[in-house]
């Protein structure tokens, strides 16, 4: 992925979930946003604890989850790494050697500093591994909202 690219995940195929969303109408948007924000926060925690390479800590501390953004009938939650660490974040995310170099470049040159933990795809992997949990949580949270409305 190039800098500024986004990984977009669409949830589809769950007929029961889609039917609930239609019945809930506008009440689904804030409830869905809260659910997605909670899931994104959990994924970011997993990424930081288990996957992100740590050299100085700048990359790890740049992780963020933005509050839900509602536009029309869509709710989006953005999470990522960046800020001052953006160029490094992208380079490391796409480097299969990230966190695994042992302090030596592919040409044999010794690095002055290097990450001793973590791996590449440090955000993409926990997102992919948790998509099923995101859908399940979203369904549970919408069911709870549905019950509150007495439907």
Span 45-92, pLDDT tens digits: 999 999 999 988 899 999 999 999 999 888 999 999 988 888 888 888
Give this prediction's pTM: 0.79
Q: Is residue 106 part of a domain?
A: yes
Domain span at residue 92 reads: 25-148
- 125 compared with 25, residue with greater pLDDT: 125
- Alpha-carbon separation of residue 106 from 90, 97, 101, 102, 103 (angstroms): 19, 9, 8, 11, 10
The confidence score (pLDDT) of residue 76 equals 93
How many domains is the chain partitioned into structurally?
Answer: 1
Span 85-124, pLDDT tens digits: 888 888 888 888 888 888 888 899 998 888 888 898 999 9
């Amino acid at each position: 992925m190039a800098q500024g690219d986004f990984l977009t995940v669409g949830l589809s195929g769950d007929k029961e979930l889609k039917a609930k969303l239609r019945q809930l109408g506008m009440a689904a948007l804030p409830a869905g946003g809260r659910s997605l924000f909670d899931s994104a926060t959990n994924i970011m925690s997993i990424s930081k604890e288990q996957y992100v390479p740590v050299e100085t800590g700048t990359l790890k501390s740049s992780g963020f989850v933005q509050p839900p953004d509602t536009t029309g009938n869509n709710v989006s939650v953005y999470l990522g790494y960046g800020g001052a660490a953006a160029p490094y974040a992208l380079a490391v995310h796409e480097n299969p050697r990230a966190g695994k170099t042992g302090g030596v470049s592919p040409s044999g040159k010794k690095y002055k500093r290097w990450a001793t933990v973590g791996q590449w795809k440090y955000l993409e992997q926990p997102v992919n591994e948790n998509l099923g949990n995101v859908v399940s949580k979203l369904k549970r949270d919408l069911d709870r909202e549905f019950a509150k409305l007495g439907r």
